[in-house]
Amino acid sequence: MTNLIGVYGVGGCGRGIMPLARVMPGAEGARFVFIDDSSPAQEVNGHAVITFDEFLADCARDKAAVLAIANGKVRAQLASNCEASDVKLMAVRASTVIEMDNVEIGEGSLVSPYVTFTSNIRVGRCFHANLYSCIEHDARIGDFVTFAPGVRCNGNVSIGDYVYVGSGALIRQGVTIGAGAVIGMGAVVTKDVEAGVTVVGNPARPLVKD
């Protein structure tokens, strides 16, 4: 049994994940804290807020971390820090998640209420799927990818590592999105997106900065 579970990040993501983490199988009897290296708060929603160094120094025999940070590259660094410190990553999954046939989801993923996975889907490490997102058949999703609430990902879509998909975005069937791309809120992605590019609008086009 895990004795101490730390939800990394006291922002909105962390506060939304904490109640789900508390009721995960195997979490019975564990102490829960928020881990945050920059927050001035000492307590949030009834849980102590401590730094990662304080988390490591705690006398608990068995520890796990939940990486509730929206930025995928930051999550990757935190995952590396946890691995180096022998802290296991804990996945969190709401009871209302729908998962059909032959779905594989990597370690440390956080799946919020009312998310749907259909069939024959592969998802990498530390995926975040926020409220009411949908991932259709034969999707391939990389590591440290984030779906904000209400994302609609159609079938046969390929998404690279570290991609962020904004709230309400719609991804057309068969599209490929390169690593590190950002899909803006409400964007309708009808064509492939190159790595590192930010796209917005309907249809989605590369963002042109003034």
Per-residue tokens: 164: 């962020």
**Helix, strand, coil shares, percent, the chain, to 5:** 15, 30, 55
Per-residue tokens: 23: 């009721």
Cross-strand bridge partners of residue 173: none
Per-residue tokens: 152: 């609609």
Hunting for tokens 């993501």 — which residue is that?
13
**Among residues 137, 144, 146, 169, which one is catalytic?**
137
User: For this structure, is 137 an active site residue?
Assistant: yes
Measured CA to CA in angstroms, residue 57 lies from 3, 125, 130 at distances of 14, 26, 32
Q: Which residues are catalytic?
A: 137
